[in-house]
Copies of this chain bind each other. A is one copy, B any other.
Amino acid sequence: MPPHAVGVDLGGTNLKAALVDRDAGLVAQTRRPTEADRGPAHVMQRIAACVAEMMDAAPDDAVAGIGIGAPGAVSWDRSTVSKPPNFADWDTVNLRDGLQARLDTTLPVVVENDANVAALGSAYYGAGTTPESFIMVTLGTGVGGGIIYQNKIFRGSTGGAGEIGHMTIDHEGPYARSGVGGAIEAYLGQEFLTDHARDRLINFPESDVPALVDGDLSQLSPRVLHQAATEGDAFAQEMLAWAGHKLGCVLGAAVNLLDIRTIVVGGGVSAAGDYILAPARDVLPRFVVPGLRDNLQILQETLGNEASLLGAARLALEGDQAQVGTP
């Protein structure tokens, strides 16, 4: 089998694809706007175009298969994607068949949840290379998650495992969009965290954060908080520490259930690094039963978006070997 595969990262805004060499990692990349508002047929056409471009870039045009990381619910057989948020007219679409038809190929096409492919990418090429099992958390617009168990994706009963973002840490807490009270996403989701910071800014009249956004607080974001924190702003540091504390609580619950002691944190908001992760590391053991407290570690994934592309391609290379349980 040729050691190359194509990985696709299907985002609501941008569509990315890469040619991946099993050993060397990313060899080529391409991207274009997803134009998700134009419906599934259009999006599929665009995916096919990206993939064709990457296949042409492969030595001898030889690739082993195509892996796709997608939002929404992925079917157990890894062919269809249902109801991805922010995609128009998209109920359940068979990406595998659609792509094979458009590319006129019988190459395997494997679809997987986006947080799961990010976890797989981390497992093979990133912060997750050393531990054989870890919990991946992606901090972005939402809070996503994936479970790598003995170097494979743990998918659960229907392919939906790893929804850490919707685990509660306060059953009477604020509601996330999922309707779950006190879900961690209701604290760490990008808009929730930003709203929280806006509300608390009044307690920190000396903060430089308003100046960083030229007084326009609608421009506040975790990125701005991170920048301010690095410049020593006490308000920004406190907001990120508050988020990290909450993160540590939910990770404790996950460790208790899974007995997986390594957590890898990725996604845009994780760029704030130790401003979030140090408080999370501090609180984590206090939310884990004493017998499971040894060797806990929280690592930062620095691959960024590449983790998803690498993981998606690797999924195509590994096939069913990439998952725990019977497919």
- Contact for A157 among B246, B260, B291, CB less than 8 A: B260
Chain B residue numbers with a CB within 8 Å of A253 are 167-168, 253
Chain A 112-169 residues near chain B, CB threshold 8 A: 132-133, 145, 147, 149-150, 155-169
- Contact for A286 among B160, B180, B290, CB less than 8 A: B180
Q: How far is the CA of A133 from the CA of B160 in the complex (A)?
A: 14
Chain B residue numbers with a CB within 8 Å of A145 are 257
Chain B residue numbers with a CB within 8 Å of A289 are 163, 165-166, 178, 180
The answer to whether B162 touches A290 (Cβ under 8 A) is no
Chain B residue numbers with a CB within 8 Å of A286 are 179-181
Q: Is A254 an interface residue (CB 8 A)?
A: yes
Chain B residue numbers with a CB within 8 Å of A179 are 286, 290
Q: Is A287 an interface residue (CB 8 A)?
A: yes
- Contact for A292 among B155, B160, B261, B324, CB less than 8 A: B160
The answer to whether B257 touches A254 (Cβ under 8 A) is yes
Q: How far is the CA of A289 from the CA of B176 in the complex (A)?
A: 10
Q: Is A238 an interface residue (CB 8 A)?
A: no
The answer to whether B288 touches A162 (Cβ under 8 A) is no
Q: Is A252 an interface residue (CB 8 A)?
A: yes
Interface residues of A (CB under 8 A from B): 73, 83, 132-133, 145, 147, 149-150, 155-172, 178-182, 246, 249, 252-254, 256-261, 286-292, 324-326
User: What 8 A-B pairs are tightest by C-beta distance, nearest first?
Assistant: A156-B259, A161-B259, A166-B289, A171-B249, A163-B256, A160-B259, A167-B253, A178-B289
